[in-house]
């Protein structure tokens, strides 16, 4: 995708188990295995979760995302080590937090001005935040920006991995996130660009922990702390929020786009 994508860069080592498979096979397994496992487990527990008192499908979604995340973690630990999955702390963590905060602030401003609010801070907010950070945050990102990013990077290079894993994140968010209210093109573009933005952050910092935290905070403040007056929110208002946020994400991606191989943190 750029000259830097073909230049030399440091890649963390892989285990002998991973080396036994070609990079293309590893990328295919990283993409398909978590989804297949999630579908299979969801089918097994479908009768149990059908009786849960949830009207928004949170239990079913938690099973799906949780299984995908756990499967990704197990495969990742067999193939790569903890840092190789993007579980880096200290400077990479703070750098990823700093970059992701830009998207959080932009989205929150647009949300505040265009979504009509009823108040702030409903009951049950702790449970909502735990769900967001564990399932929509960590489970989703350990698959997309942990396992799949690393496998795709070994196969097609880090820049391709950043875009590909970001698009996977966007599709998962579009299908399963609680804030995905409308199945239209503007919503799909918004979630896809959100994912690409996080993918570039993963590429530049080498850490998923910061984006996991900020993603949960972004959704928590927008939809739990700032309580909408109607659910789902007004479609025209959300179209505006999607459009403006997408433009902001594009600007951030442009500013963070790596210029040389030394910018990569696989």
Q: What's CA 21's distance to the chain center, in Å?
A: 26
What mean pLDDT is predicted for residues 236-245? 97
Which tokens go with 130?
A: 């735990």
Report the candidate in 4, 244, 256 with the shortest Cα–Cα distance to residue 108.
244
pTM of this prediction? 0.92
What mean pLDDT is predicted for residues 253-266? 90
Which pLDDT band holds residue 17 (cuts at 50, 70, 90)?
Answer: confident
Q: Give me the residue spans of the domains in the chain.
A: 85-263
Tell me which of 8-12, 19-23, 219-223, 227-231 is least confident.
Answer: 8-12
User: Is 56 exposed, middle or buried (CB count within 10 Å of its CB: 0-12, 13-18, 19+)?
Assistant: exposed
Instruction: Tell me if residue 45 falls in helix, strand or coil.
Output: coil
Cα–Cα dist 53/50, whole Å: 8
Cα–Cα dist 235/241, whole Å: 10
Which pLDDT band holds residue 6 (cuts at 50, 70, 90)?
Answer: very low
Cα–Cα dist 226/22, whole Å: 48
């Amino acid at each position: 995708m750029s000259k830097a994508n073909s230049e030399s860069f440091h890649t963390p080592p892989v285990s002998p188990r991973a080396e036994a498979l070609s990079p293309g096979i590893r990328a295919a397994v990283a993409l398909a295995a978590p989804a297949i496992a999630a579908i299979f487990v969801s089918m097994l527990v479908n009768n149990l979760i059908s009786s849960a008192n949830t009207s928004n499908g949170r239990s079913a979604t938690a099973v799906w995302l949780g299984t995908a995340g756990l499967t990704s973690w197990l495969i990742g630990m067999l193939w790569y080590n903890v840092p190789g999955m993007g579980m880096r702390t200290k400077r990479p963590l703070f750098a990823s937090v700093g970059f992701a905060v830009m998207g959080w602030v932009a989205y929150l401003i647009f949300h505040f001005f265009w979504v009509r609010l009823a108040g702030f801070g409903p009951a049950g907010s702790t449970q909502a935040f735990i769900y967001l950070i564990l399932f929509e945050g960590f489970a989703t990102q350990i698959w997309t920006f942990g396992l799949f990013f690393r496998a795709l990077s070994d196969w097609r290079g880090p820049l391709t991995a950043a875009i590909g894993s970001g698009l996977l994140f966007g599709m998962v968010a579009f299908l399963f996130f609680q804030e995905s209210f409308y199945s239209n093109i503007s919503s799909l573009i918004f979630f896809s660009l959100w994912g690409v933005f996080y993918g570039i952050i993963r590429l530049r910092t080498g850490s998923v922990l910061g984006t996991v935290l900020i993603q949960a905070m972004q959704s928590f403040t927008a939809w739990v702390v700032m309580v909408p007056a109607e659910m789902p929110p007004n479609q025209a208002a959300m179209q505006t929020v999607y459009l403006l946020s997408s433009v902001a994400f594009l600007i951030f991606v442009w500013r963070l786009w790596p210029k040389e191989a030394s910018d990569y943190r696989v």
